[in-house]
Every structure is written in C-alpha cells, then in structure tokens.
C-alpha cells in the first residue's frame, strides 16, 4: 500500500492525467446513460405511472394507446378495471403552443402530485412538471388552442409523458369538456383466467401487458437501441484505452520493477501495487463523475431529457471498476514476465 501511494505521489502529474481521462470516460458513459433514461421516461413514464400490469385495448392498432378506442365495448370491460380516456390537444403558452395528452384521474391509477394537489373539479388540471419551463405555475389558467375551454392548474407531477408528449390529468367531468375524447384502454392490475375469458368473449379488443404498450411506442425502441449500443461501445473503448495507458506506464517502470524483484519483492506484491493504483485512480475518477452528474441534475433545464437512475449509476460505476481491472491485466502479465537482470540492464 505504501509503495503504491508513494509512486502515485512521485509521478502525480502522470497519474492525474490518467485519472482525468478516466473521469471523462466515466462521465461520458453516465451522461449518455442519463440521456437514454431521460428519453425513455419521455416515452413511457406516463404508462409506468399507472402501475398496472395489463391493458385492454382495440385490436389492429399495433398496441398504440393513441389509436385505440374501445367506447363501444366499454360496458363489458369496466367491471374488470379502470377506464383510461385520451384526448390530444394543445395548450396556449405565452410564446407558442404545446401539445398535451389529456387523460382522466382515477384514485387507483393516477400518480400523486409532486407539487400542489390533484384536480377535484371539472375546471382543474394537473400538469407535467416539464411545463413549468413554459412559464406555468400553480393557480395559473391554461387555455386550449382554438377553443374557449380553460383549466386552473392545481399541481404538477414529474414523469407523466407518452411518446415525448406531456400528459395532463383532469377529472371525468373535465374530460367531458374536451372534444375528440376516446376511451383508449382499461387498466387491469392482474390477469386471471376468468378475466382473460371475459375479455376474449368481447369483439375487437385484446389484452396486452405494460411492456407491450411501451414497446409499441415507435420512438422508444428507435432511441434506446442506438444509445444502449453506444454505451456498450464506450465501455469497450474505455477498456482498450485504460489497457494501453497502464501497459505503457508499466513498460516505463520496467527497470524499477526489475530492481524490486532483484532485492526480493515477490510478484504478488508488485501485482498488489498495480491493483491498488488502478482501484484508487478508478474510484477517484468515477466518484468525481458521479458528483458532477448530481450537480448537473440540479441545474439542468427541466425541458431536457435527463434522468438519474441511482441503481443504473451504481451498476455503471461498478462496471467501470471491472473495466479498469480488465484493462490492467496486460500490465499484470508484463510485471510477471519482467526478468530482473534484463530490466536492470536496460533491455
């Protein structure tokens, strides 16, 4: 341990540069992961907020809630779950208009308000927190485009979006004030054989899972696959870069390692020194990147798709430690193969 720390202190400039590069790699991976999670939330957070396992929707709509309409079949389904109404409209903002998807509140499936309260009257509305970036605040009145319909904002909640469109919650009476409303689905908390048999007996409807609903959103897969592939390649690039750095540093220390071997230092001790150095450098770089990520999370605009998943960050940080250790393997092999006489002789 002392030898590892002394060497880090003696060659501090060299190891600071390695730590900086590792920090930048870790930050890039975590930042892209947060963007991927943010884009995913903008696609499916509204569905996840319902916390329901299954949905009854129309057949032949490719599992899309915005295309589903089961008003004709609703009487045979309502006893099984909670109806979800949809209405695509636009709100007039101070500078322009913004698209929203109106849906109805239900005590069993509506998310709680992060700020303010849920709507209770037909002229009240709960908005997605991203719309605060448009200048909205609690108590403001919002107006629908090309209509005289207005709502008073009673609260905001985070992560209620569907296919990059903010969702707005109103009461059932509030939905009656809108045009072009449709009953998109019925949410079910479970799927028993009796429920499944009842649904199968109803014409032109089918039961799908929450995962099916999310996968049916076109932009969800189109965005997540390339971003996840990019993250995988960044880990591979990180392993290659770190391997090259640690290998070059080890070659530069061949004579010192040879002298240490000549005076009786075991390979296991030298390997331990390298592993301690790699772990310290990696931990410092990863911890710094995590701290910067939390700082960014507090200052980044709410309109930007950016979401910190703590579990994912822990996994990514752990993977970086593994990648760094894998990158040090070539160095360890080099250390074991160094011959004291050759190293001292400068060969």
List pLDDT tens digits, range 3-19.
556 666 666 777 788 88
User: What pLDDT is stored for residue 54 in this prediction?
Assistant: 87
List pLDDT tens digits, range 191-210.
766 777 777 778 888 888 88
User: What pLDDT is stored for residue 79 in this prediction?
Assistant: 60
Mean pLDDT (the chain, rounded): 83
Span of 78-87, 175-184, 303-312 with lowest mean pLDDT = 78-87
Beta partners for 170?
A: 104
Q: Which residues contact 306 (CB under 8 A, 6 or more apart)?
A: 34, 35, 38, 296, 297, 300
Rg (CA), the chain: 28
For the chain, give the longest Cα–Cα distance: 90
Query: Considering the chain, what percentage of its residues have pLDDT values greater than 70?
Result: 92
Mean pLDDT of 280-308: 88
pLDDT grade, residue 347 (50/70/90)? very low
**Predicted model pTM:** 0.79
List pLDDT tens digits, range 31-70.
998 988 888 888 898 888 888 888 888 888 888 888 888 8
CA distances from 75 to 82, 206, 286 (A): 12, 15, 56
Map out the domains of the chain as residue ranges. 2-43+220-344, 60-203
d(C-alpha 99, C-alpha 91), whole Å:
6
Q: What is the DSSP track for 185-246?
A: EEEES---HHHHHHHHTSTTEEEEEHHHHHHTSHHHHHHHHHHHHHHHHHHHHHHHHHHHHH
Instruction: Judge whether residue 149 has pLDDT over 70.
Output: yes
List pLDDT tens digits, range 246-271.
777 777 777 777 777 777 778 778 77
Half-sphere exposure of 300 (CA within 13 A, CB side): 16
d(C-alpha 297, C-alpha 67), whole Å:
35
Query: Considering the chain, what percentage of its residues have pLDDT values greater than 90?
Result: 8
8 Å CB contact between 166 and 101: yes
Residue in 304, 50, 44 with CA at minimum distance from that of residue 169: 50
Span of 68-72, 119-123, 167-171, 210-214 with lowest mean pLDDT = 68-72
Which tokens in the block code for residue 263?
């005076």
Find how far residue 93's CA is from the centre of its chain.
28
Q: Which residues contact 84 (CB under 8 A, 6 or more apart)?
A: 50, 55, 65, 103, 104, 106, 109, 183, 184, 185, 186, 187
d(C-alpha 16, C-alpha 41), whole Å:
36
Number of H helices, E strands in the chain: 11, 11
Query: For tokens 């969800």, what's the residue?
Result: 220
């Amino acid at each position: 341990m002392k030898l590892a720390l002394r060497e880090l202190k003696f060659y501090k400039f060299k190891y600071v540069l390695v730590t900086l590069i590792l920090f930048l790699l870790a930050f890039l991976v975590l930042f892209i992961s947060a963007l991927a999670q943010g884009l995913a939330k903008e696609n499916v957070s509204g569905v996840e907020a319902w916390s329901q396992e299954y949905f009854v929707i129309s057949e032949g709509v490719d599992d899309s809630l915005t295309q589903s309409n089961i008003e004709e079949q609703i009487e045979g389904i309502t006893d099984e779950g909670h109806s979800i109404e949809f209405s695509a409209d636009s709100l007039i903002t101070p500078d322009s208009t913004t698209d929203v998807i109106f849906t109805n509140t239900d005590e069993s499936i509506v998310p709680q308000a992060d700020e303010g309260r849920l709507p209770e009257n037909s002229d009240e509305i709960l908005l997605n927190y991203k719309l605060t970036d448009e200048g909205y605040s609690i108590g403001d009145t919002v107006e629908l485009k090309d209509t005289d319909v207005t709502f008073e904002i009673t609260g905001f909640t985070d992560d209620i979006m569907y296919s990059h469109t903010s969702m707005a919650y109103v009461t059932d009476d509030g939905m009656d004030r809108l045009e072009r409303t449709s009953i998109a689905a019925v949410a079910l908390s479970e799927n028993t054989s009796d429920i499944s048999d009842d649904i199968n007996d109803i014409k032109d409807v089918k039961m799908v899972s929450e995962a099916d609903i999310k996968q049916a959103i076109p932009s969800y897969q189109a965005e997540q696959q390339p971003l996840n592939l990019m993250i995988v390649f960044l880990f591979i690039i990180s392993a290659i870069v770190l391997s090259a750095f640690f290998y070059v540093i080890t070659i530069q220390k061949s004579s010192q390692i040879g002298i240490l071997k000549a005076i009786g230092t075991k390979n296991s001790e030298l390997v331990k020194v390298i592993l301690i150095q790699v772990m310290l450098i990696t931990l410092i770089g990863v911890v710094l990147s995590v701290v910067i990520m939390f700082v960014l999370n507090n200052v980044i605009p709410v309109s930007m798709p950016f979401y910190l998943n703590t579990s994912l960050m822990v996994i990514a940080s752990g993977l970086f430690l593994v990648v760094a250790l894998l990158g040090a393997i070539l160095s360890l092999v080099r250390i074991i193969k160094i011959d004291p006489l050759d190293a001292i002789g400068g060969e």
